[in-house]
Structure 1
């Protein structure tokens, strides 16, 4: 979180973030006043940084730092090498996937998540939209939610997506998916939806972005940097799919009996098609 927000923080908060990144073990034992002194800022700036990170306060920030220090896994996404053996690639990809999933779980704000779940549960129609690898995530969300009797759409064309949300209302929900948070088509989609009164949800990597700025509800996935040798946005795709799975399970839990009924019906139909 600190590394991702560092470039966009105000000068005083940037100094504190840099100090925390460079001296995490030392920082967890200090008060806000002491951290301010060590970073040549103030205790007030420390509190402002916590607010910028959407944390409850300095104790919350310290808990996260301690958690990172105690974690045994490698913090760097490991890239593959030329002619690397299969067993090594298996190990690296598995390690990267575990790290991505763990970091996404830590970044999810339960208050924002619950708002999203309530909105999706009560929505008349749900519109998912993403470009490129994020469009695959939107399609995954579509196939999950339609199986529990939700009216959902996942267009890959901005014109079709915008046309449909233009006919929407406050009863509908628009979900814009963009790992970078800088995809202009997704920004346009959410902007159109918001102008029509739809509840808007963004799913991006952690940090400020043009996509998140257009959303009523903001959800974040792991901001882990992709390895140089990337294939189909592997880490970011896993992070986004994890959030979609969590949203789906939360909505399914709210309507448990109905969900079981529809899943049984759809499973029976698929089994029948296989006969």
Structure 2
């Protein structure tokens, strides 16, 4: 996109992104879990119905699904669009494909929540299953067009700033240390005031990344907005692609999360999927910049090996 065109859209307060492709059938349940909290109660009934009984819902017309969920045809269509499908017909096709996957055992099962009296072996098994589910959901729902564009922007960036608070900041630090090791200039900011101060210095050719599961974290949105307004390419890693963060993101990378429970808050489970997206970005950038990234990575390994090797005895 030309700077002039981007400036035009910035004046209108909306970021310009490639049109997202409908989620793969395997990502439907994850999409429901991600977006359900932001839906109206009637839309939640539609979403929960299609996630829990894809085969049964795939056999229903829009009128039939509306009747089954006690909603209206308009609600069914709105829910379909919120889930990422152009209309109910596209959602119905995805439901049929998901039902076929479940029939052959290729669709993952949803695990139960962890109870306070669960034995430790059961806790380990449930956590492992939910981590696997979370990674599979994120991979299935990741828009590869958005990912490719984000990788390209990072590979060519003059400077990269990453914003995150709490658990998301830990993910941001992980990304930054990876980028530093292949010779890129990157900084992670957890202090919101410092983040905004640095965002003011961002320009075209720079990249700003915001990491927020909720998509509504003001301390993360504000520096991204400032960077966006100053011409930087902006990327959001979020579990809520419909959140406020979307208004200032050129590229959105959607993450999934396991179901939140009393013993496992969203901050814990969302970090798993965020780390997967971070690894995808890093590997993609390393591939794009291999001629410079490989020597830089080797040099960092050698420096660390030398630092941790036993010192020669003094003579």
Question: TM-score when scaled to structure 2?
Answer: 0.75
User: Which of 50, 54, 57 is equivalent to 1:24?
Assistant: 54
Aligned length: 273
Change (3 A) 1:90 1:9: closer
Q: Which residue of 1 aligns with 2:116?
A: 81
Query: How far apart in 2 are the matches of 1:226 and 1:192?
Result: 32
Query: How far apart in 2 are the matches of 1:248 and 1:98?
Result: 21
Query: How far apart in 1 are the matches of 2:95 and 2:181?
Result: 39
Q: Which residue of 2 aligns with 1:193?
A: 227
Change (3 A) 1:248 1:191: same
Pairwise CA distance, 1:134: 0.7
Pairwise CA distance, 1:30: 4.4
Change (3 A) 1:31 1:102: same
SS of the residue aligned with 1:229?
Answer: coil
Asked whether the 8 Å contact 1:4–1:207 carries over to 2, the reply is: no
- CA RMSD of superposed structures (Å): 2.9
Which blocks of at least 5 consecutive residues in structure 1 are unaligned? Answer: none
Query: How far apart in 2 are the matches of 1:188 and 1:134?
Result: 15
Cα deviations by residue, 1:62-109 (Å, 9 ceiling, x for unpaired): 434654674565414532535833x33322221221111111112211
Higher mean C-alpha displacement, 171-180 vs 46-55: 46-55
Mapping 1:1-275, distance limit 5 Å? 1-6=31-36, 8-9=38-39, 16-21=46-51, 23-30=53-60, 35=65, 41-42=72-73, 49-55=79-85, 57-58=90-91, 59-60=93-94, 62-64=96-98, 66-67=100-101, 70=105, 73-76=108-111, 78-82=113-117, 84-85=119-120, 87-230=121-264, 233-275=267-309
Cα deviations by residue, 1:156-203 (Å, 9 ceiling, x for unpaired): 111111111111101111111111222110111111111111111111
Query: How far apart in 2 are the matches of 1:123 and 1:132?
Result: 26
Asked whether the 8 Å contact 1:203–1:221 carries over to 2, the reply is: yes
Cα deviations by residue, 1:6-58 (Å, 9 ceiling, x for unpaired): 4545798666435424542212244557656766644x875654433224633
SS of the residue aligned with 1:79?
Answer: coil
Asked whether the 8 Å contact 2:34–2:257 carries over to 1, the reply is: yes
Query: How far apart in 2 are the matches of 1:119 and 1:195?
Result: 17
Query: How far apart in 1 are the matches of 2:112 and 2:118?
Result: 19
Question: TM-score when scaled to structure 1?
Answer: 0.85
State which structure, 1 or 2, has the greater radius of gyration over its C-alpha atoms: 2
Query: How far apart in 2 are the matches of 1:193 and 1:66?
Result: 45
Which blocks of at least 5 consecutive residues in structure 2 are unaligned? Answer: 1-30, 310-315
